[in-house]
């Protein structure tokens, strides 16, 4: 018999207590309980990347991660990167490169990219493609997405070299 329990989630710098079964995928709590709609339910198997969030600095698929394993960890969704008034530099790079068509995959692409660039600030095109190989875009904007990531990496390096800081978020 399954039992609901209280779990503490640390999302976008805020602490939340949610009640649910520990095996329930994290995405349901992010979307339904916390009203964070950037993680999208795509495949439900952790294979398409639409549900990607950052957990403790690493990209993670929220549709395949049980609530009990996400509790007490630092979770960042797209909503935690920037706002419509002040886009994160990575979000701005995706806008500038026109890297979104329908937009369904973009939050996952951006979150995967954020985790990647935080640990690989000067990637070449092959490294970018490799980092995003498990994120699917059915609209076919992969070329624009790769350009956006390269643009963001260049922008962050310039900011870091000018003393304005790194990747932020």
Give pLDDT, residue 3: 87
**Tokens of residue 163, six digits:** 């003393």
**Tokens of residue 86, six digits:** 């002040």
Q: Which residues are bridge partners to 61 per DSSP?
A: 52
Give pLDDT, residue 165: 47
**Predicted confidence (pLDDT) per residue in 64-110, tens digit:** 999 999 999 999 999 999 888 999 999 999 999 999 888 889 999 99
Distances (CA, A) of 153 to 18, 70, 114: 36, 29, 10
pTM of the shown model: 0.91
Give pLDDT, residue 138: 86
Helix (H) or strand (E) holding 88: none
Q: What is the mean predicted confidence (pLDDT) over 14-37?
A: 97
**Predicted confidence (pLDDT) per residue in 127-164, tens digit:** 999 999 999 988 888 899 999 999 999 987 777 676 65
**Tokens of residue 89, six digits:** 């530099």
Give pLDDT, residue 2: 75
Q: How many CA atoms lie within 13 A of 10 on its CB side?
A: 10
Give pLDDT, residue 137: 87
**All domains of the chain, ordered by start, with CATH?**
4-80 (3.10.20.30), 89-161 (1.10.150.120)
152 burial via Cβ count (<10 Å: 0-12, 13-18, 19+): buried
Q: How many CB atoms lie within 10 A of CB 159?
A: 15
Per-residue pLDDT band at 169 (split at 50, 70, 90): low
């Amino acid at each position: 018999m399954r039992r609901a329990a209280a779990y503490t989630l640390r999302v976008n710098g805020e602490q939340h207590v949610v009640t649910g079964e520990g095996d329930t995928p994290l995405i349901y709590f992010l979307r339904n309980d916390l009203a964070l709609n950037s993680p999208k339910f795509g495949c439900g198997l952790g294979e398409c990347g639409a549900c990607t969030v950052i957990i403790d600095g690493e990209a993670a698929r929220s549709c395949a991660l049980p609530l009990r394993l996400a509790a007490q960890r630092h979770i960042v969704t797209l909503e935690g990167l920037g706002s419509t008034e002040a886009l994160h530099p990575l979000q701005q790079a995706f806008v500038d490169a026109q890297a979104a068509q329908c937009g369904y995959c973009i939050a996952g692409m951006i979150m995967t990219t954020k985790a990647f660039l935080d640990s690989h600030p000067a990637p070449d095109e092959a490294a970018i493609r490799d980092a995003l190989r498990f994120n699917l875009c059915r609209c076919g904007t992969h070329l624009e997405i790769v350009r956006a990531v390269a643009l963001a990496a260049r922008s962050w390096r310039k900011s870091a070299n000018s003393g304005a800081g790194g990747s932020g978020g």
